[in-house]
Structure 1
Amino acid sequence: MRLRKRPLTRALTCIKSEDARNERLGKAAGEINEKPAPEDSDASPSVRQVYQALVQTYGERNRRPTGRSVLEALVRTILSQNTTDKLSGAAYRALRSRYKDWADVLHAPVGEIEETIRIGGLARTKAQHIQDILRELEHNAATTGTDTDWTQGLEFLRNVPTAQVMEYLTRYPGVGPKTAACVAMFTLERDDSFPVDTHIFRLAKRLGWVPNGHTREQAQVDLENLIPSTLHYPMHILMIEHGRKVCTARGPRCQHCKLAGLGCPSATQDTESTPV
């Protein structure tokens, strides 16, 4: 599969300048004030309040360099789609154990790759997407006549703005805004990226941080603008942990949630009927 080429341009026009971000968040005297109330609630906890409560509950979350190439990070993130960390990790280990390098993965029968990564789910689709990306990288190296290893063909993304990283990666099949944002946040160590998974999406909606009717992709933009960039990494980790342990899809444990005491508009004693 050959990807249509186009120049790298800004892909996320909603990434604001710091001044615009500050105006929207209503910073004053170094404090982050509350976001205007969502349409269906009187008030929502501020980002700073939620962050402090989550840190009190789970502790600080500091960035840890992954040491991974951009290609490795992209493949790992594709394998993580619609499955658990445990299963996606097992799928990646199986892939790297069976094939000595990315060239072997590229030239293997797609059905063989599918069988290798089956434990991670959606194996046929993921196998095809991985090979499509590898094929494109090999083709790019051949047509440009570069002497570098084609498996390093994504490393240039370390030196371009995040908006261009997002546009470039989302050209590939199977790479949406969340997958691209994960690569940007964890491997490229960008503070202006905020991936939104199912746990973050659920928690943000319950807090009133995402307008009614917004999709997960729209929520990614909402939260990138709402949450200060310096908090993107720790808030991402903390919100996922809280979504898994307390603010669950079914039977959220509101009576044990510190955010309920901050005025979470979805907090209820009737935990079975709390909307997702």
Structure 2
Amino acid sequence: MGRQTQEHAGAVAGDVRERAMAVHERLCAEYGCPIPYFHELDPLSELISSLLSHRTRNADSGRAFKQLRARFGTWEAVRDAPTAEVEEAVSPCTWPEQKAPRIQQVLRAIAERRDGELSLDFLADWPVPEARDWLEELPGVGPKTSAATLLFSRLHKPALPVDSHHHRVAVRLALIPASVSVGPSHAILEAQLPADWSAQQVYDNHEALMLHGQRCCFARNPACARCVVLDLCPYGQARVAPA
């Protein structure tokens, strides 16, 4: 890459980071940062909760998680139970027939890698990149689940999850290209945030973009006319421009 091309790429990246920070400040003002954490689970429980939440409404995945804990009591009991009983316990979520055996696979893998211990508390002492790599070696655990486990749990580590609402808003704001899917978007969007941000600031960023997707930047018929970041949004400006 020639020097002029490198300078142009650096300028573009700088512009995107500036837009990302401007979006963050506006949406934080709109949705009331700092945003309280929605629960305080240990990291293993958060991992299971995140696996249950895939393509499932929060109310349904929450019910499935509570049923699982109430029925079996410990993660060891979940690991060792007949899979059909685990599937029955998590039936409120989507695809329980897939999630039940996957959860048991994950629990067995953790116990095997940790000499029988079923806990992820040890990750408290690990840097975020290494902790995410360890988690993503587990079956079915990708970047969203690893980030959620570290950020949402009582570990409160600064790892950025990206859900479908967050991703949609980021694409429309040109923070990421439309060709980048949710998985690869994690690294790009996290790199736009200051490296010294606390877990609370990273959490606020995720929650604010997610809430904006839920309350204004809808998948269909987004409410661009009342959007607080309309002047920063190429998609919205094109949509409301006079014909």
TM-score interval (norm. to shorter)? 0.7 to 0.9
Q: Supply the AA of the counterpart residue of 2:65.
A: Y
Q: Supply the AA of the counterpart residue of 1:250.
A: R
2:118 is paired with a residue of what secondary structure?
helix
Q: Does 1:239 align with 2:209?
A: yes
- Structure 1 residue 270, shift from structure 2 partner: 4.8
The match for 1:185 among 133, 136, 151 is 151
Please name the residue that 1:35 is paired with: 14
2:234 is paired with a residue of what secondary structure?
coil
Q: Supply the AA of the counterpart residue of 1:254.
A: C
Q: Supply the AA of the counterpart residue of 1:35.
A: G
Query: In the TM superposition, what are the counterparts of 1:107-126 in structure 2 within 5 Å?
Result: 107-126=80-99
Q: Supply the AA of the counterpart residue of 2:141.
A: V
1:118 is paired with a residue of what secondary structure?
coil
Kept after mapping to 2: 8 A contact 1:179/1:195: yes
CA distance in 2, matches of 1:238, 1:110: 37
Please name the residue that 1:75 is paired with: 48
The match for 1:171 among 119, 137, 144 is 137
CA distance in 2, matches of 1:70, 1:121: 22
Q: Supply the AA of the counterpart residue of 2:86.
A: I
Please name the residue that 2:234 is paired with: 265
Kept after mapping to 1: 8 A contact 2:20/2:175: no
Kept after mapping to 2: 8 A contact 1:60/1:234: yes
- Structure 1 residue 100, shift from structure 2 partner: 2.2
- Structure 1 residue 47, shift from structure 2 partner: 2.2
Aligned residues: 227
Q: 4+ residue stretches of structure 1 with deviation over 4 A?
A: 268-271
Cα distance change on mapping 1:245 and 1:45 into 2, 3 Å: farther
Cα distance change on mapping 1:161 and 1:25 into 2, 3 Å: farther
The match for 1:128 among 71, 90, 101 is 101
CA distance in 2, matches of 1:225, 1:139: 33
Kept after mapping to 2: 8 A contact 1:51/1:235: yes
Q: Which runs of 5+ in 2 are unaligned?
A: 1-8
- Structure 1 residue 95, shift from structure 2 partner: 0.6
Please name the residue that 2:174 is paired with: 208
CA distance in 1, matches of 2:109, 2:21: 43
Query: In the TM superposition, what are the counterparts of 1:43-82 in structure 2 within 5 Å?
Result: 46-62=19-35, 64=37, 66-82=39-55
CA distance in 1, matches of 2:14, 2:168: 18
Q: Supply the AA of the counterpart residue of 1:219.
A: S
CA distance in 1, matches of 2:110, 2:237: 51
Cα distance change on mapping 1:61 and 1:84 into 2, 3 Å: farther
The match for 2:58 among 85, 92, 95 is 85
Kept after mapping to 2: 8 A contact 1:126/1:174: no
Q: Report the TM-score, using the length of structure 2 for normalisation.
A: 0.84
CA distance in 1, matches of 2:136, 2:111: 18
CA distance in 2, matches of 1:221, 1:68: 25
Q: Does 1:255 align with 2:228?
A: no
Identity %: 30
Cα distance change on mapping 1:269 and 1:221 into 2, 3 Å: closer
Per-residue deviation, residues 206-247 of structure 1 (Å, max 9, x unmatched): 000102421212211111111224232211010000000100
What is the CA RMSD across the aligned residues, in angstroms? 2.5
1:196 is paired with a residue of what secondary structure?
coil
Kept after mapping to 1: 8 A contact 2:132/2:146: yes
Per-residue deviation, residues 32-83 of structure 1 (Å, max 9, x unmatched): x98336xxxxxx9712321222123221134549542221111011111111
Kept after mapping to 2: 8 A contact 1:255/1:269: no
Kept after mapping to 2: 8 A contact 1:138/1:151: yes
Per-residue deviation, residues 146-198 of structure 1 (Å, max 9, x unmatched): 7xxx222x22111111111111111111211110011111222122x211110
Kept after mapping to 2: 8 A contact 1:254/1:269: no
